[in-house]
Chains A and B, each alone.
Chain A
Amino acid sequence: MEQIAYIDLSSKRVSTKNIPDEMLQQYLGGRGINAYLLYNHTKKGLDPMSPENPLIIGAGLLGGHCVTASGRIHITGKSPDTGVYGDSNAGGYFAPELKYAGFQHLVVKGKADRPTYLWVHDGEIELKDASHLWGLDTYQTQLKIAEELGDPEVKTICIGPAGENLVSFACVRHWLKRTAGKSGMGCLMGSKQLKAIAARGTRGLAAKRPEKLLELTKKQYDYARSTKIFQIASRWSNFYAWVMSNEGERLSVRNFQHHYFPEGYGNIDIDIFMRDYSEKMLACFGCPMHCQHRYQIKTGPFAGLKGEGPEWMCQLFFCANLGNTRYDSALASMEACNRYGIDCSTYGALLGGLMHLWQEGIINEKDTGGLNLEWGNQQAMVEMVRQIVNREHLGGIVADGIVEAAKRIGKGSEQYLRTCGKGLHLEAGNVKMLRASALGFLTSNRGNDHLRGVVNLEFMNLPPKVLEDIFWRPVDPDQLSWQGKAWMAIWTQHLYSVSDATGLCRFWTKFFAPDMFGFDEPTEMINAVTGWDISREQLLEIGERIWNIERLFNVRDGLGRKHDMPPRLWVEPIKEGMYKGIGVDLDKYEKLLDEYYDLHGWDREGNPTAETLKRLNLEREPSHIL
């Protein structure tokens, strides 16, 4: 039986509860049960920094089992960064270890009276003093805890000085790179004086149909290995994809001033990274893809620095978005983010905005403590991380998030420090000409986000029959068309919900390539592990339920249609290149949004109707079963 532990840091009490099978069948685990718990354990208008805001940790339903790439952990709470629904997901080994220790979910409430960490092991949870860990970076913290507990196999998630200093976009980190980045879950941990959660377990997990599970795992493993995308990613990681983004003119260059970055060729190519930096590849739990580089910088001002990563989105943010053509400075600034514990993606967006403000003469050396924020300035990329974490100079103004930074700087800076309607930063991709992706991004519950709503198959303009097989119904293959795009966005969003609720890595889904998993493969795996007999349509409905309860959280706080609308930048036509003149047409977008709401069974304001809630068994929420 899967278990939840409730930990009250204020009273130092721990209690546990079994998760009924009925709840697993409705929400699976991971992101699904996390969403249920957040909706049920909060009230309207909750201050994200209050002790009542729960920090919810959830392993996926398949996590720890013999299922490829299913070891992801999901962290949920009301976001200190945006003030709306917040969650984030990370790979590594923590989720399986948590399950081997006897727990699928942890709900942490209250605030400790001094720095604390949780020690979760074989059915027990201890609150331990973390005063001696306060101030340590994320790497030192993990090493120190493993040493203190006398077991190198202890798996830890933790915050760095950024979370301790309540930087709103602080992240939660596991290992050297695995990060629950967006939404400021590290800030939420810091507000509770919770430095880390360490887990170690020796309990096994039993699948209901073990022979079938082994057969499926082998089949899927053999299939994946035969694909080209697997072979490329296992050697190079996903940031080979910058070439595709560049050739497709889907990049943000210098904070969205351009979308093509020719200076990158010959400087940030994969060959150069492999030759000068990469030392080996690493994998998460149960994953043969091993898509993570371990690298070392051997020469130049950052010589000697070692780390892991980067990923494609970070590469876009720290290279093209900042006008930077050097890997070493991009790696050094990512490494600084990793050690201090701030989200690379938010930092890259923020710094791009600040460099743009510098270009426009809105800020200068007086604001930055002498730091020169010209495009591509390597020292500035690293130093600004330190300024933010320590809240010095301009760092003190921007450490509370991009929306707050624009308010405090003023002078029209919101034109350059850009966010979507839900307050999350804009990603370093150009989706003005991608209808389903734009809709998927904007309707995401945590805000504008490729990990929740990008439809990567859209820009490939695949043949209609191929797309119909994938999306179960006819959709227009043309990325500029508005036909069928609402369904593409919905299908994809629900696939991602299911992937996060099972613990399955996004790279094994159609997020990554048309060859990878849709709903069929996870359905077979879930049935083999649980003994259920659900269909892929039922799995889609579970994804829909998760999406709707997340939506209910935002609706309860007054969010609606206007928060699903595009930022002004997206409405402005693209100024150059093959998509010149194209932007998001607001009239057509409104009609697409209507279609999206209709398909969901929501009213024109984006509120789920009573019939929809009944259909999804959500009409009695909050039901407080867990």
Chain B
Amino acid sequence: MAKEFLRPEIYQRVRCLQCRQRMALEPGQKEVYCPSCGEGWVIVWLTEGIPHILRRIKPHYLPGKE
């Protein structure tokens, strides 16, 4: 369904929020590292074909850092 209405450059892709580089994803992929700037992103799938960036990957992101 998503393929019908999303532009091709958006379907199954996300855009790096640091350098704006578009990145193609495999279905269900949960993390991606930007080939251009190296920044890493956690991905959620809103539905089949539509990934969305949840947040940036950061090693000390989870509890312990305060």
- Give A contacts to B, CB under 8 Å: 228, 231-232, 235, 240, 243-244, 247-248, 269-271, 274, 459-463, 465-466, 477-478, 480-481, 514, 578-582, 585
The answer to whether B44 touches A477, judged by C-beta atoms less than 8 angstroms apart, is: no
In the complex, A580 Cα to B62 Cα: how many Å?
9
Size category of the B interface is: 20 to 34
In the complex, A337 Cα to B39 Cα: how many Å?
45
Contacting A461 at CB < 8 Å: which of B14, B55, B66?
A: B55
Other A-B contacts than A274-B1, A461-B56, 13 sampled, CB-CB below 8 A, are A228-B6, A231-B7, A232-B50, A232-B52, A269-B47, A462-B56, A463-B17, A463-B39, A463-B56, A478-B58, A480-B61, A578-B62, A582-B63
Given the interface pairs A244-B52, A247-B44, A269-B47, the reply to whether A461 lies near B58 with Cβ below 8 Å is yes
List the A residue with the shortest CB-CB distance to B61. Answer: A461
In the complex, A235 Cα to B3 Cα: how many Å?
12
In the complex, A580 Cα to B58 Cα: how many Å?
18
The answer to whether B17 touches A478, judged by C-beta atoms less than 8 angstroms apart, is: no
Given the interface pairs A231-B6, A465-B18, the reply to whether A460 lies near B53 with Cβ below 8 Å is yes
Shortest CB distance A510–B (Å)? 13
Given the interface pairs A460-B55, A462-B17, A578-B63, the reply to whether A231 lies near B10 with Cβ below 8 Å is yes
The answer to whether A271 touches B54, judged by C-beta atoms less than 8 angstroms apart, is: no
Contacting A478 at CB < 8 Å: which of B10, B54, B65?
A: B65
| A-B contact list, 18 entries, CB within 8 Å | A231-B5, A231-B10, A232-B46, A240-B47, A243-B45, A243-B52, A244-B44, A247-B54, A270-B46, A459-B55, A460-B54, A460-B56, A461-B56, A462-B17, A462-B56, A463-B18, A478-B58, A478-B65
Please indicate the chain A residues that have their CB under 8 angstroms from the CB of B44 in the complex.
Answer: 243-244, 247
Shortest CB distance B38–A (Å)? 11
Q: Would you give the 0/1 interface string for B30-54, flagging 1 where the beta carbon is closer than 8 Å to chain A?
A: 0000000001000011111010111
Q: Which of the listed residues B7, B18, B48, B66 has the most CB atoms from chain A within 10 Å of its own CB?
A: B66
Shortest CB distance B12–A (Å)? 11
Shortest CB distance A437–B (Å)? 14
The answer to whether B63 touches A243, judged by C-beta atoms less than 8 angstroms apart, is: no
Please indicate the chain A residues that have their CB under 8 angstroms from the CB of B55 in the complex.
Answer: 248, 459-461
Please indicate the chain A residues that have their CB under 8 angstroms from the CB of B15 in the complex.
Answer: 228
Q: Which of the listed residues A269, A465, A478, A578 has the most CB atoms from chain B within 10 Å of its own CB?
A: A478
Please indicate the chain A residues that have their CB under 8 angstroms from the CB of B46 in the complex.
Answer: 232, 240, 243-244, 270
The answer to whether B17 touches A581, judged by C-beta atoms less than 8 angstroms apart, is: no
Shortest CB distance A438–B (Å)? 14
In the complex, A461 Cα to B65 Cα: how many Å?
14
Contacting A480 at CB < 8 Å: which of B14, B48, B65?
A: B65
Shortest CB distance B61–A (Å)? 6
In the complex, A436 Cα to B38 Cα: how many Å?
27
Please indicate the chain B residues that have their CB under 8 angstroms from the CB of A461 in the complex.
Answer: 55-56, 58, 61
